[in-house]
Amino acid sequence: MAQNIIDTVSTMRDVALGRCRKRIEDAAKKAKGIIHKNPVEEENSELCCEPQCGVTAVLKRKHGL
């Protein structure tokens, strides 16, 4: 049973790291101007005032991370 938990934690860690790497790569591309916003997104970006609902956004708000 302990090995099963360790495998699950390892898998979750690997998935989280992969997602973080993808976000970092996307942010770097966006900063370099490779990824451009759609004109529709630019128009609606000022109107969007909803708070983010992701796990990291909640942790940042709640715990100041």
Number of domains in the chain: 1
| Rounded-to-10 torsion of CA 40, 42, 48, 49 | 180
Does pTM top 0.85 for this prediction?
no
CB-based burial label for 18 (10 Å; 0-12, 13-18, 19+): exposed
Cβ–Cβ under 8 Å, residues 29 and 35: yes
State which residues form the domain around 14: 2-63
Angle value at C-alpha 46, between 45 and 52, nearest 5 degrees? 60
pLDDT (tens digit per residue) in 12-44: 999 999 999 999 988 888 877 765 555 555 455
